[in-house]
Structure 1
């Protein structure tokens, strides 16, 4: 949906973020149907979504996060750990303030990572009480023992049917 709208308007991600600032902060389902059309709203929102939507902040998060992903990829290619970390902190702020999928305890973990010297940190997973990931120098790790535990990259979860 995000890419479709962006492509339809012929705008860059940065232009889409700017465009978001002109949206009303809140809109009812009916207002969204007037603005976007009933078919788009039916496809985008569940049937039980009836209340006021935080239109501007949610849209700003979606497009700014997509832009951050592109910039993070560029920073990875160039090995710019400082920029990668800055983008992680920026992403967490957007998740917390614009999308509101963080919680006080996750915000505190991310802030403690910042204070301890991590390059960056942010929530990971779906949010709403999930986990945080931090980017640190493995040769000189910051003092994060009270906040995080370290884990090596792995294959992830596996599922076995018995």
Structure 2
């Protein structure tokens, strides 16, 4: 849905023109999975799919929220009082934008209310950060309207706090930073400890390649609790190794570190994934900067095997995408996102895309799985004001 449609929807709901329209994208993570809450390295890029928000300020303490994507857009706006927002009090979609308002106010920013109308093209539940796009677009709009003067990384921090504390989801900082800070035509090399950023050129089309996203259209129900278990296990591993975070375990000393964990087999697997995944991110950065883009393919597949076997967050649908794509001639493939469903990415020569797509669709049909959604991921712009 475009800016004009969202603007028109706002007028229909609230009876006046909005003060502006903003957009924030979803993201694909090229490499660096489950490293962000371990102070490690990640490498996402923004998708052309995003959330658009038309917003106006209010001065009476009322926050009115409406989404064109909920109930066919027919529901009335949800009204909340900004001074009554309470963490974990809301289990609906409104918790994400309300949490942003709560986080801004808690940080001392005088947000006195707003009228908000939203629409999104980010596939929900596909591991493409639809929630981060929702948070960031609201944060950016309020930052502009209330003249808060916050930079992208600061907005990302506040959005993460909204999701961690207000929503109650123990996510890392990657998704919000990607939505707020990515640049068109680039992947974002991000150090999640200090939020140091480097934009890495990533123009696959110029080199005759494509990156496909395969949305499996499944989300296994146990994902939430299992995510929390993985995070707790990583924190246990860091404590047992006497480091602040697993990022502090040098790759060259991994075997020795694993030996010190004794019979903590589950923790050993988690530690091995995080430390090797950080090294994979650095390897991909080096390959891209040296112009050897095709060589990142095997690194992607290597990352999937680690997520499947050590972190144990894959599922039959994701494994089928990776195995089928690679057998059909892909340069590499892996799951992306939190796991237990969602999406995989496939790096391929442009000429091989039709055959790989057909092979994946046929494999899903043969397995009795829901037909996947396959689309090209093009590195796009981060959050921005449209009008």
- TM-score by shorter chain over 0.5: yes
Query: Computing the radius of gyration over CA atoms, which structure comes out larger, 1 or 2?
Result: 2
Distance 1:154 1:123, change over 3 A: same
Q: Any idea what SS the aligned residue of 1:133 has?
A: strand
Superposition TM-score, scaled by structure 2 size: 0.30
Using the alignment, how far apart are the partners of 2:376 and 2:280 within structure 1? Answer: 25
Of residues 370, 373, 376, the one that matches 1:151 is 376
Of residues 116, 122, 126, the one that matches 2:328 is 116
Q: Partner of 1:71 in structure 2?
A: 283
Residues 55-94 of structure 1: pairs in structure 2 closer than 5 A: 55-94=267-306
Residues 60-108 of structure 1: per-residue CA shift (max 9 Å, x gap): 0010000000001111112223420111000000000000110111111
Give the aligned length.
Answer: 130
RMSD of aligned Cα (Å): 3.1
Residues 34-85 of structure 1: per-residue CA shift (max 9 Å, x gap): xxxxxxxxxxxxxxxxxxxx11000000100000000011111122234201
Superposed displacement of residue 14, structure 1: 2.8
Superposed displacement of residue 120, structure 1: 0.7
Distance 1:156 1:106, change over 3 A: farther
Q: Any idea what SS the aligned residue of 1:73 has?
A: helix
Structure 1 unpaired stretches of 5+: 28-53
Q: Any idea what SS the aligned residue of 2:349 has?
A: coil
Q: Any idea what SS the aligned residue of 1:127 has?
A: coil
Distance 1:24 1:82, change over 3 A: farther
Higher fraction of strand: 2
Superposed displacement of residue 21, structure 1: 2.9
Distance 1:154 1:70, change over 3 A: closer
Superposed displacement of residue 26, structure 1: 2.6
Using the alignment, how far apart are the partners of 2:39 and 2:256 within structure 1? Answer: 13
Higher fraction of helix: 1
Of residues 6, 13, 19, the one that matches 2:256 is 19
Bigger RCO (CA 8 Å, 6+ sep)? 2
Superposed displacement of residue 11, structure 1: 5.6
Superposition TM-score, scaled by structure 1 size: 0.67
Superposed displacement of residue 6, structure 1: 7.6
Using the alignment, how far apart are the partners of 2:337 and 2:347 within structure 1? Answer: 16
